[in-house]
Amino acid sequence: LPVGFLLLFRYFSFRWIWTDEVKEASESKAPWIGYAPPHGVFPWGNMLSIFIINAALNVTFFGAAASIVFWTPGLKLIAAFGVIDVSKQSLMSALKKGHCVGIVPDGIAGIFHANDFDEVLCVKHRKGAARLALQTGRPLFPCFFFATHACCRCGTTSGAS
């Protein structure tokens, strides 16, 4: 990995935990759909996991981001991280090519529900990942990133006039 990315791992105290059974299942059941909430203000854990998965597992893995990200100056650089559009067409294309994909199911809504005190998930009405798994016959691999709310603080306009 490039030195800059290694520094990100150190800065965020990033830790990835799995068992041998999970590693074997991840490789033998590929391609799969990673289901990794919460989004938070910015999903650093999800972004860093792209490198870990590609380096540690015998799979090709892409994270998925909202289409608007690729049109936003500065943010569109995340494509260099190994990120694809989260559209159904893009995800299905990657899965058909044998690539694993990861999504953050609460998406942009997770940004607006993030706070400095709780791990908040906005997934109650989010069924796209389950629908994609059923339509493609690919397994969902659940994951969770703790303390995403601590990576980027939420601002407040309380008391503003």
In this model, does residue 60 exceed pLDDT 90? yes
Higher pLDDT, 147 or 90: 90
5-21 pLDDT per residue, tens: 667 667 766 677 777 88
Higher pLDDT, 96 or 124: 96
- pLDDT at position 16: 73
φ, ψ for residue 137 (rounded to 5)?
75, 15
- pLDDT at position 85: 93
State the pLDDT confidence band at 70, using cuts at 50, 70 and 90.
confident
Give the residue-averaged pLDDT of 92-103: 95
CA of 105: how far to CAs of 93, 130, 137, in Å? 19, 10, 18
- pLDDT at position 161: 39
**115 close to 149: Cβ distance less than 8 angstroms:** yes
In this model, does residue 157 exceed pLDDT 60? no
Give the residue-averaged pLDDT of 92-97: 96
Give the residue-averaged pLDDT of 48-56: 83
